[in-house]
Amino acid sequence: MASLPPLVEPAAELTKDEVARYSRHLIIPDVGVEGQKRLKNAKVLVVGAGGLGSPALLYLAAAGVGTLGVVDFDVVDESNLQRQVIHGQSDIGKPKAQSAQESVAEINPLVTVNLHEVPLDSSNALDIFRDYDLILDGTDNFATRYLVNDAAVLLGKPYVWGSIFRFEGQVSVFWEDAPNGQGLNYRHLYPEPPPPGMVPSCAEGGVLGVLCASIGSIMVTEAIKLITGIGDTLLGRLKIYDALDMEYREVKIRRDPNAAEITELIDYEAFCGTVSDEAQTAAVGNTITAPELKEKMDAGDKFELIDVREPHEWEIVKIPGAKLIPKDKILSGEAFAEIPQDRQTILYCKSGVRSAEALSALHKAGFSNAVHVGGGVTGWAQQVDTTLPTY
């Protein structure tokens, strides 16, 4: 267990309106007036106003955290509304950070919201993090997770991490400089990122919308405990939630003596290998656009069009004339016999990442004229047939 002293000093006072608003907190002995004053004085940065950031921001605001920061440069898309409850129908096309700010104002106008509408990277992370007491990271890519971790370590700040995929979520607290001497960071749990393409994103694999609420609420609970110094935090513990079995499991996290020392911020896209070197090499000179694919179709060119996504994605949307062969069957070589060698092979996936990986495998197997569609079926739906859905 990791009992920690309060992270934030209490504010000088609570106003009459604040006493009325937070009365249900004030009558909890462990929180009380002192704890609510700490929440009022706290500055919490939420990285991402998406699936996990949505419930986190709403409940942090409702709890009375005095200053919230929002890092997000994306805009609201209709596909977000299945889980990103801080946004609504009228927010489609609006910057997520601004939409989140407006929703927070409706929940609690006493909260100050700072917007950071920029891509978080090594050039700005330290400057953005520096003014906050605590970070909540609900991002869905490994590059940003390692960036958040390393920036928090360099600044000596704690952060709450959450992750979701399909029916499962994970939550923990990381704080390298924890005052109880039990400091840990994300690299003690995951020293290295997985190989590119090994772990699909939520956009590729899906997520049960309500799972965001389950994991996001745990993240806020941990934030409140850190700020006020109550209870035992998840520092040193990984909580794993399986929504299908309605089961929570816990894994102890210990310091990895071989974990890399963090001395500076690096190029995290390169570190995580968003696309492997082999895939990047294969794609050079062997990438066509969705409109170029349409031109080939209209010209009557002979080629084999292969969709390398998963069957459930194929059911949502597909390019006409394609054949489904999931990427893993190509990487393993199992599918080579299904691919004709007397015509060009054209691969596509959702965005072009998985098809580039499959393209590399085909080139190694002798399919030298194979190409892939940059932008994938999403590019097709946006540039060629706008009547098709995107996901």
Enumerate the active-site residues: 202, 349
Q: Which amino acid is located at 147 in the chain?
A: L
The amino acid occupying position 4 is L
Q: Give the CA radius of gyration of the chain.
A: 23
Burial class for 337, CB neighbours closer than 10 Å (0-12, 13-18, 19+): exposed
Helix axes 211-228, 53-63, angle to 10 degrees: 40
- Retrieve residue 144's tokens: 């940003």
- Whole-angstrom CA distances from 148 to 26, 73, 126, 128, 309 are 33, 16, 9, 11, 30
Distance CA(261)–CA(267), nearest Å, equals 16
Here the tokens at position 382 are 């946006």
Name which of 242, 187, 188, 251 is nearest 215 in CA terms: 242
Distances (CA, A) of 49 to 53, 96, 247, 289, 351: 4, 6, 27, 31, 22
Q: Are strands 247-252 and 371-373 parallel, antiparallel or unpaired?
A: unpaired
The tally of CA atoms less than 13 A away on the side-chain side of residue 304 is 18
Contacts of 257 (CB under 8 A, 6+ apart): none
Which residue spans within 88-228 are E strands per DSSP? 112-116, 134-137, 159-165, 168-174
DSSP β-ladder status, 168-174 and 237-242 = antiparallel
**CB-based contacts of 314, cutoff 8 Å, min separation 6:** 307, 324
Q: Residue 329 is encoded by which pair of tokens?
A: 């069957």
Which residues pair with residue 264 across a beta bridge? none
**Residue pair 346/367 in contact by the 8 Å Cβ criterion:** no
Q: Using alpha carbons, list the distances in angstroms from residue 38 to 2, 235, 252, 297.
A: 20, 20, 29, 64
